[in-house]
Amino acid sequence: MRGTADRTLGRLIENFLSKEPPADLLSGVITPFTNHFILGFLGLPEQHEETVTHWLSIMSRDERMRNLSPLARVASELVRDISWTSSHPGVLARLAGQFPEADDTRRSEIKSSILMLIIAGIDTTRDSMSLATLTLLREPEQFDSIKSGKIEASVATEELLRYNTVSHTGLARRATEDVHIAGRTIRKGDTVLISLASANWDERKFSHPKELNFRRDSSGHIAFGHGIHHCIGHALARAAMSLYLKHLAEKFPKISLACAEDELSFVFGQHTYGVEEIPVCWD
């Protein structure tokens, strides 16, 4: 899969560079690459991939969260026909092989996983890459360290995930008993919302957390949550972002924003935030 993704990203960047600058890197490279990477991992048949891509393009992230029906129908068709998806590459083929005669409960679980990877996985991965791009354009010395090979893309990925934390809050938890923590009492029945961004900028864990530093040990960040609620697609998102950063550093030796940063429009969803477009110039 990585080889296919590498070639696809290379073609997208080649097509992008053939345009007259300035051009939008988000719509030209990041979004189509993210869609290809996530949907390719699932192994969606071509007709379903086109349907999902269509709905993703016309529905905002909040609309998708409020109305899952269009994407749920696709997931239902995939689960219904999971026996024939075994002829396709990707995780669906593995599920088909592992559960050839899945019962209704198992099929419902598979459908939920498909929806989670499509809805949550695509938004968060795309937003992580878009914010990483803006951060690197804002921090040219750090970007140069990737271009020169002094810092590997996988290392930069971890620090950028910590630094930006596109999912600001984790899942809401409800206390099952009284808990005393940090001088406060959380009563049984209270709802608790964890700030992932605050934890990733905690000075007790990361020295000078507001600074982007690729030489720090970024392990232990919780951009993907923690414990049993750790994001099921974390390895997929890491692989996609690392590959993207590698290509960005290699194919764009000179790249800059085509506008002032305060002219950019940011979009905030229920769980993530990102940018609407990234107009860039290059040499």
Residues in the chain: 283
- Looking at residue 182, its pLDDT comes to 86
CB 166 within 8 A of CB 130: no
- Looking at residue 2, its pLDDT comes to 72
Does residue 248 fall inside a structural domain? yes
Residue 81 tokens, joined: 């026909």
Task: Indicate which CATH number applies to the domain containing 24.
Answer: 1.10.630.10
Does residue 214 fall inside a structural domain? no
Helical ranges in 18-98 per DSSP H: 25, 31-42, 46-58, 61-66, 69-80, 91-98
Query: What is the spatial distance between Cα 259 and Cα 134, in angstroms, rounded to a whole number?
Result: 12
Does residue 187 fall inside a structural domain? no
Residue with tokens 């919302």: 193
Does residue 222 fall inside a structural domain? no
Q: Which domain holds residue 44?
A: 2-166+232-282
Identify the bridge partners of residue 169 per DSSP, sorted by sequence position.
Answer: 195
Does residue 159 fall inside a structural domain? yes
Count: domains in the chain: 1
CA atoms within 13 A of residue 248's CA, in its CB half-sphere: 32
Query: What is the spatial distance between Cα 123 and Cα 237, in angstroms, rounded to a whole number?
Result: 10
Does residue 201 fall inside a structural domain? no
Does residue 26 fall inside a structural domain? yes
Residue 95 tokens, joined: 């599920």
pLDDT per residue rounded down to tens, the chain (283 residues):
678 899 999 999 999 999 999 999 999 999 999 998 988 887 777 777 777 787 777 776 666 666 667 777 777 776 666 554 455 567 766 666 666 566 677 777 777 777 777 777 888 999 999 999 999 999 999 999 999 999 999 999 999 999 999 988 877 889 999 999 989 999 999 999 889 999 999 999 999 999 999 999 999 999 998 888 788 889 999 999 999 999 999 999 999 999 999 999 998 876 788 999 999 999 8
For residue 233, give the nearest of 110, 121, 90 by alpha carbon. Answer: 121
Does residue 198 fall inside a structural domain? no
Query: What is the spatial distance between Cα 53 and Cα 35, in angstroms, rounded to a whole number?
Result: 7
Q: CA torsion sign, 220 to 223 to 229 to 232?
A: negative
CA atoms within 13 A of residue 113's CA, in its CB half-sphere: 15
